[in-house]
Amino acid sequence: MEKRKEILSELFNKYRNELKELNEYLYNNPELGLQEYKACLAHTDILKKYDFQVEKAFANIETAYKASFKNGSGPKIAILAEYDALPMIGHGCGHNAYGVTSISTAIIVKEFMKEFNLQGEIQVIGTPAEETNGAKVDMAKLGVFNDIDVAMSVHPCGETHYRSGTSHAMEALQFTFKGKTAHAAAAPHEGINALDGVLNLFNSINALRQETLSTARIHGIISKGGEAANIIPDLAVANFYVRAEELDYLKGLVERVKNCARGAALASGTELEITNYETSFANLVTNKKLMALYEKNLRELGVNDIRDREGFGSTDMGDVSHCCPTIHPYFPLTTKHLVGHTIEFATATIQEEAYKGMKEASLAMALSCIAIFENNDILKEIKEEFNNKFKK
């Protein structure tokens, strides 16, 4: 193990300057979801340079890609990369560092496979628009992950390393109420107030919360409520996120929320249209055997502060976890506390301190890949856990 760690560390150091240049380039050229043309090109250029076969516009998504290196037959491991940014604040979620860590992992694993003739396939799958449309969801629907043995990615954060935990299944619902305009003072009786439909909806959902699990979340805004106070509005729109720990519970909760909207429309005399305004996400199901392997390798690297991280957010990595064994842990950019989706978080991704956490995550993923390539029993246990959860 000591010799192996030394080899992998030397490989990371060998490519470090190039990885740093890529990270800073992405930081200085942030792109929103499905517009990541520069990022996609920069990712694929370095992967092609180091002998990966690259497929652009992967899964019918213009800024997605798949890069693969195969040596004989064996396990197929996918390292997922993100690279979309946020409006106004750039890489406030750290996807520049996320993608570079994934690429560094794949390159050093490939070098190790060639040197020691390990059998299998290592892939990097570039997945755009995590912050909005969630390309992994469409990829999952297309069956991209069905023949993958293991999927991994590691997300940046602050303070320390965190285990892969859970995320909420989420559905994004838009409720459009349609009524009839009228003068609010002179002839209100001739109007049908669409905003009343939205207000009824909020009141009904507030009452519904009493009968929902404490881990569920329903939160929304009025995105359109009228044009002027003296006009009965004929159009009002509310956008909601509905979240739950389990996909099955979410489906039932979503139907109850929709019934709130139907009742609100009936009570207000309005017409109702229900649509999805963003991609919905499945809950993340961490493969515990795979996470234990990753954590074991982190500890081999001298990392001992590894914490649990349970959150109420949602990610398209959840959809991947329903297709194949998956983990989504976190690595630190700094020992300080960081709040995501901030300028401070974005700035932390290019500080010298960030490369320590990136290296630790990259090497831990690499060691995990190598262990799976070398030992069929490890993969068997990982897949048994997945099958027991999803294929009963």
Q: Are residue 44 and residue 148 in the same domain, yes or no? A: yes
Identify whether residues 245 and 320 lie together within a single domain: no
Q: Is the same domain home to 158 and 299?
A: yes
Do 19 and 138 lie in a common domain?
A: yes
3-state secondary structure the chain: CHHHHHHHHHHHHHHHHHHHHHHHHHHHCCCCCCCCHHHHHHHHHHHHHCCCEEEECHHHCCCCEEEEEEECCCCEEEEEECCCCECCCECCCCHHHHHHHHHHHHHHHHHHHHHHCCCEEEEEEECCCCCCCCHHHHHHHHCCCCCCCEEECCEEECCCEECCCEECEEEEEEEEEECECCECCCCHHHCECHHHHHHHHHHHHHHHHHHCCCCCEEEEEEEECCCCCCECCCEEEEEEEEEECCHHHHHHHHHHHHHHHHHHHHHHCCEEEEEECCCCECCEECCHHHHHHHHHHHHHCCCCCEECCCCCCCCCHHHHHCCCCEECCEEECCCCCCCCCCHHHHHHCCCCCHHHHHHHHHHHHHHHHHHHHHCHHHHHHHHHHHHHHHCC
Burial track 27-44 (b if 16+ CB lie within 10 A, e otherwise): bebbbebbbbebbbebbb
CATH code of 271's domain: 3.30.70.360
Mean pLDDT by runs of 10 across the 392 residues of the chain is 91 97 98 97 98 97 98 96 97 98 98 96 97 94 97 97 95 98 96 98 97 96 97 98 95 98 98 95 96 98 92 88 97 95 97 98 98 97 96 70
Predicted TM-score (pTM) of this structure:
0.91
**Number of domains observed in the structure of the chain:** 2
For residue 96, give the CATH number of its domain: 3.40.630.10
Q: Does residue 135 share a domain with residue 13?
A: yes
Q: Half-sphere exposure of 263 toward its Cβ, with a 13 Å CA cutoff?
A: 14
Domain boundary pick from 225, 249, 276: 276
Is the same domain home to 156 and 14?
A: yes
- The reported pLDDT for the residue numbered 181 is 98
38 near 15, Cβ under 8 Å? no
- One domain, residues 229 and 307: no
What residue numbers bound the domain in which 251 lies? 169-276
Residues 15 and 64 both lie in one domain: yes
